[in-house]
Amino acid sequence: MKLSRLTSRMLIAVLTFALGLVASSFWIASRLSVVDRLEDPNCVEVTAYEQSIVKCIQSKPVSFCELTQHPNRYQHKVMRVQSTLIGYHHQHFYDPACNSEGVGTWVDYDSAQTTDKMMRAIAALKGEGMERGNIWANVIVVGRFEERQVGDPVSSAEDPNFPQIHPVKDRFRFVITSVEQVQPVSSDVPWPN
């Protein structure tokens, strides 16, 4: 009798320990994913095709000046950016606060659908998104930032087949994957020199 009572207590103790171990494993696993998300408090989910490349993008937009002043911090990262978009065939980001040599940023699009979405948003501004024959709008977009390297594809403005367009050598490239906001530029923002 004493042996069966001892055996049943031992069995209960082992099962309780095993159950506690399983429960604590689930708790630890759930906490790890939360900690992973909290590394960047501005982290939001990325699109399915980007999940193998990046963990998250920032929910608060980074300014164009911040982007170009600290390019190593943002190199090859997907992020939300706020800037003025200028150009037509060759679009750029612009901000008068950091309009200097070495900040040229060629804006590209990941697909025809993204380009179309931007053009429809510009058209919806009914002329307020254009200035001097160029797109001139404040935008919030999501995309990938990269410093251009030797051997990278040229933009259409650098293509020798388009001699009527002034060749611009841009240091950076931003590939827009999502257009979130497009608004007219305030009248007090100066046109670039």
pLDDT tens, position by position, 162-187 = 444 434 567 888 999 989 899 999 99
What's the pLDDT tens digit per position in 75-120? 888 888 999 999 988 899 999 988 777 788 889 898 999 999 999 9
- 71 touches 172 (CB < 8 A): yes
∠ CA 119-121-122, nearest 5°, is 65
Opening angle at CA 144, ends 143 and 147, nearest 5: 140
Residue 52, token pair as written in the block: 């193998």
pLDDT of residue 166: 38
Q: Which two tokens stand for residue 138?
A: 């404040």
* CATH code, 48-184: 2.40.50.140
Per-domain residue ranges of the chain: 2-39, 48-184
10 pLDDT more than 90: no
Q: What is the pTM of this model?
A: 0.64
Distance CA 152, CA 124 (A): 34
Report d(CA 156, CA 165) in Å as an integer: 9
Tens digit of pLDDT for each residue in 121-154? 999 998 898 898 889 999 999 898 888 765 555 5
Average pLDDT over all residues of the chain: 76
DSSP per residue, the chain: -HHHHHHHHHHHHHHHHHHHHHHHHHHHHHHHHHHHHHTSTTEEPPPGGGTTT-S-EESSPEEHHHHHHSHHHHTT-EEEEEEEEEESSSEEEE-GGG-STT--EEEEESSHHHHHHHHHHHHHTTTTTEETTEEEEEEEEEEEEEE--TTPPPPGGG-TT-TTSPP---SEEEEEEEEEEEEEPPTTSPPP-
